[in-house]
Structure 1
Amino acid sequence: MAAPASLMIFAAGFGTRMGALTADRPKPLIEVAGRPLIDHALDLTKGLSLTKVVNTHYLGDMLAAHLEGRDVHISHEPEILDTGGGLRQALPTLGSGAVFTMNADVIWKGPNPLDLLSAAWDPARMDALLMCVPLARAVGRKGGGDFSIAPDGQISRSGDLVYTGVQILKTDGLAGIPDPVFSLNRLWDQMIADGRACALEYPGNWCDVGHPEGIQLAEELIRDV
C-alpha cells in the first residue's frame, strides 16, 4: 500500500516534565549523546521522500533557527493547540492524505519505525496504525501501558502496550471536531469505536526522553549498554 507522503513532528509543548532543563530551550533541543532530540527524530526520515512539518510554540524561534536551511516546514502556534489542533493547523502543508506523526522526545534502538509502519499500512481497513512497544521494552516509561492489540491488529484501550509516539493517521476526521484545542485521543476513540484503529508491535527497544532521567537511559540504549 502507498505510504504517506507527509510527516508531522510535534514539538510545540512546554516540556514541563523536564524541569530546569527547558527553562532556556524547548525540549526538542535537549541533547542526547551530543545531538538535539529533534535531530534524532529527523534521522528517521533520511532516504524518505516526505514533506516534513514541525510545529512550534514554546521558544519556537530557537527551534526554527536550529532547523533553518533544512527541508522542514514550521507550523507556529500562537497558542498551544494540543496534538489534534496542531495537526489540523498544519494540514495545508501536509496535504489531505494520511500522514505520519511523530513525537520528538523518544529514542529508538532497532529498525526504522517509519519503514515498518509503511510496510504494514492498509488504508482499506485502517484509519490509524500506531506503533506500540511492550512495557518490558519501553525504557524510561513511567506508568502503565496504553493499549491491547487483538489478533486482527485492532486496538482497545488499556493493556501492556505503550504508544511510542509514531503512527500513520488519516486526517479526515479532524474537520468534524469543533474545538480549536484538542488531543488526537478524540480521533482515536472514534476510530477504535469504528474498528478502524490498529497497532503494530515494535520489535526493538524504545526510550521515553520526556523527563530528565530519560536522557541517561537513552544514551545507554544508544550505546547498547
Structure 2
Amino acid sequence: MRQLPDALMLFAAGLGTRMGALTATQPKPMIPVVGRPLIDHALALVEAAGIARTVVNTHYRPEPLRAHLADRRVTLSHEPALLETGGGLRKALPLLGEGPVFTLNSDAVWTGANPLTELRDGWSDGMDALLLLLPAEQASGHPGTGDFLLDAEGRITRAQGRPGLVYLGAQILRTDRLAGVAAEAFSLNLLWDAMIAEGRAFGLIHRGGWCDVGRPEGIAEAEALLERADV
C-alpha cells in the first residue's frame, strides 16, 4: 500500500520584496486576487483535497496573517529568523508528523485539476519527491525558461538554461533528508539535487492553468486567468 501524505506545509513566510508598496504593511499572502487573499486561494485547494493537517509558516509582518487565520483549521510555525524553504519545513516537522508531506507556495493561483489531488494520485513509494510542473510558455507570470526536464519515466533533471518545465510550487516530498543538512536556513533545492542524482525525483504536468503572483503585474494576470476559467 502506498504511503500517502496527510499533512501539508504552506509556505507564507517570505518578505515579498518584489511586491513593493503592496507588502509595506502586510505579508504577501494577504494580497487580494479577485477579492480574496492569496492564502485563501491556497487553502481552498487544501480543503478541497481533504488534507488532514496544515501548517503555515510566518515571518514577515505575521500579525495580519495570524488574525486572518485565527478561525481556520491550521497551525502556525513562526520563524523569528527567515529559514528559507528547507529550514522552514524542518522547523515545522514536529507539527507535520512523519512520512512524506505536501508543500505548497501561497503566492499563486490555479485553474483546472486540484494540484494536490494530482500529486496524491501520482505519488508512489519509489519516489522521494514529486513536483508539479508546466511548460514555461504556459506558466503565467513566470519570466524564466523553465527549471526542469522530464524523461520518459517521469524523472526530472535540471534544465540548466534549456527550455523546460517550470516548478509550480506544489509537491510531495519525503523529509528524512532534512536532518542531514548542517545549515539552519537552506533551500529545498539541496534535497532535490541529491534526489535527482539518485533518480528518485519525479515530475508531473499540471492539468490546468497557473499564475505566479510574485510581482504586482502578476495580480492582473492571475485575475485574467481565473476569469477565463469561469467563462
TM-score by length of 2: 0.95
Of 119, 122, 126, which residue of structure 1 is paired with 2:121?
Answer: 119
- State the number of aligned residues: 224
The Cα shift of 1:49 comes to: 3.4
SS of corresponding position for 1:58 = coil
Query: Residue 132 of structure 2 contacts residue 170 of structure 2 at CA under 8 Å; is this kept in 1?
Result: yes
Write the distance in 1 (CA, Å) between the matches of 2:103 and 2:141. Answer: 21
The correspondence of residues 50-65 of structure 1 with structure 2, limited to 5 A, is 50-65=52-67
The correspondence of residues 96-175 of structure 1 with structure 2, limited to 5 A, is 96-123=98-125, 125-158=126-159, 159-175=163-179
Of 195, 199, 205, which residue of structure 2 is paired with 1:195?
Answer: 199
The Cα shift of 1:31 comes to: 0.3
Unaligned ranges ≥5, structure 1? none
Write the distance in 2 (CA, Å) between the matches of 1:45 and 1:156. Answer: 28
SS of corresponding position for 1:198 = strand
CA RMSD across the alignment: 1.0
Write the distance in 1 (CA, Å) between the matches of 2:9 and 2:18. Answer: 22
What amino acid is the match of 1:175? A
Query: Residue 86 of structure 2 contacts residue 178 of structure 2 at CA under 8 Å; is this kept in 1?
Result: yes
Query: Residue 137 of structure 1 contacts residue 204 of structure 1 at CA under 8 Å; is this kept in 2?
Result: no
What amino acid is the match of 1:16? T
SS of corresponding position for 1:168 = strand
What amino acid is the match of 2:152? P
The Cα shift of 1:196 comes to: 0.3
Write the distance in 2 (CA, Å) between the matches of 1:142 and 1:49. Answer: 31
Counting aligned pairs with the same residue, the percent is 57
Which range is displaced more, 167-176 or 199-208?
199-208
What's 1:43 paired with? 44
Query: Residue 113 of structure 1 contacts residue 166 of structure 1 at CA under 8 Å; is this kept in 2?
Result: yes
Query: Residue 3 of structure 2 contacts residue 99 of structure 2 at CA under 8 Å; is this kept in 1?
Result: no
Write the distance in 2 (CA, Å) between the matches of 1:90 and 1:118. Answer: 21
